[in-house]
Structure 1
Amino acid sequence: MPSIPILMYHQVGPTPPRHSSYRGLTIHPKSFARQMWVMHQLGYRGLSMRDVLPYVRREKVGKVFGITFDDGFRNVFQNALPVLLKYNFTSTNYLVANLFSQTNSWDKDRGVPRAELMSITEMRAWAQAGQEIGSHTLDHVHLPELSLAEAREQLVGSRQKLVEALGADVTAFCYPYGDFNVALQRLTQEAGYTNATTTKRGLAKMTDDVFAIPRVGIWRSTPLLRFLYQCLSQHENLRRA
């Protein structure tokens, strides 16, 4: 595989009510299980950002793909973790550091149904199961709308809070809403992260900026054959912005 798909998920749970905003961001547990099963059957290993980046840099070679979850939803812990463990896959879950055991408050004005977020205990259990914790800022903010000082606090403060709660280093970051610019890429590196993912479409390549890594969005309506097409062909690279 000349480039590597890094999958982007949000929630793994029952389908939200009809007409709910962004209901496509919630993958049914059975769909997620089928996706992981078929990749395992084809000989691929799902990996966290810390595990997959050596393959992106071509320091290692193998049939691998990245798995990431944005926002730290509790249903990911409940429904995705058992599947990941079944196939010995690792993944990265980007948590909003000020919102442990709370809900997706950033979505309240967008018509998105309320959903619970992971607790500190669940975060620790996630990490103890071999999964990676990444940062998604303190408050799930639009970073480009903040001053550089405010953005720095979101980047540095979230990493510090996660490290203290986890008792381990946190090096992966994900820009909320996919919003970033060159100045934020620099701030992210200065804050101590080693990589950052975006919502930009594409497969990860060795030539990509490690602080602007593209991903493959997986939605509720993604059929299994299309999922495979997105992962195993160059289709996503042809759709790069």
Structure 2
Amino acid sequence: MRAMIPILMYHQVGLPAAKGSPYRSLTVHPADFKRQMVWMSRLGYRGLSMRDLMPYLNGQRRGKVFGITFDDGYRNVYQNALPVLRQLHFTSTNYFVARQFDGGNVWDYDIGIPHSDLMSLEEMRQWAFAGQEVGSHTLEHVHLPQISPQIANYQISQSKLELEQALGTEVTAFCYPYGDESPQIRQMVRNAGYTNATTTIRGLVRPGDDPFGLPRVTIARSTNIVRFLQKCLTRLEDKRRRD
């Protein structure tokens, strides 16, 4: 019987915004991120990008592995997480908003989340050059089910094309902004040529899960190391609910 596999979901790795800021919990302190990765390494686990993880998810390979994903392409991930990943020889996937390079999280401003810098095109290329994976998070971080099917399909397929043109290599990983998706949206992602897509549904990946609806384990600022290990390594954490 194949084991269930955790795919970790991070956003920012840096100093948190001021107390009271919305979604402050989605910024993990660099020291905590390093502690989490080091503990997984000590326990014999290898952190992998979605590209590297897929053979384990589809049963072609077996081993003590877990997925590492970052949403949105924040610059502080490049600054604070990449050195840790390189030190431990881990790979990861960062889902970039294809038309916001060197910009900010403009989709968050209306709900009071402070500005955070996103990677530049050159930083994204350096991320990939370091062995990390570039995935797509659409062109503009949109709610896919809330727009017309034609525009949703364009956001999905065109973001893949633009990222591939910027990188000079294939982009196969997708992440649904806000976790918003549907059977129709999943089919669009499949038709666009991606091989996998992650959601915000909480849980470990079970054998037989749809590769275009993969659950993840949310890691927050308040997740201490004991709780982190519980989330990653126990079946009791397989709640299968959306954030």
Q: Normalised by the size of structure 2, how large is the TM-score?
A: 0.98
Pairwise CA distance, 1:151: 0.3
- What is the SS of the residue equivalent to 2:66? strand
- Aligned partner of 1:180 in structure 2 is 181
Q: Does the CA-based 8 Å contact 1:57-1:205 persist in structure 2?
A: no
- What is the SS of the residue equivalent to 2:116? coil
Deviations 1:104-148 (A, max 9, x none): 000001111100000110010000000000000000000000111
- Aligned partner of 1:240 in structure 2 is 240
Q: Distance in 1 between matches of 2:4 and 2:53?
A: 11
Structure 1 runs of 4+ with >3 Å offset: none
Alignment of 1:1-241 (within 5 A): 2-237=3-238, 239-241=239-241
Pairwise CA distance, 1:16: 1.1
Q: Distance in 2 between matches of 1:198 and 1:240?
A: 11
Deviations 1:135-166 (A, max 9, x none): 00000000000111000110011001000000
Q: Distance in 2 between matches of 1:222 and 1:111?
A: 23
Aligned-residue sequence identity (percent) comes to 58
Structure 1 gap ranges (5+): none
Q: Distance in 1 between matches of 2:114 and 2:226?
A: 29
Q: Normalised by the size of structure 1, how large is the TM-score?
A: 0.98
- What is the SS of the residue equivalent to 1:109? helix
User: What code does the residue aligned with 2:217 have?
Assistant: V
Q: Distance in 2 between matches of 1:167 and 1:39?
A: 32
RMSD of aligned C-alpha atoms?
A: 0.7
- What is the SS of the residue equivalent to 1:80? helix
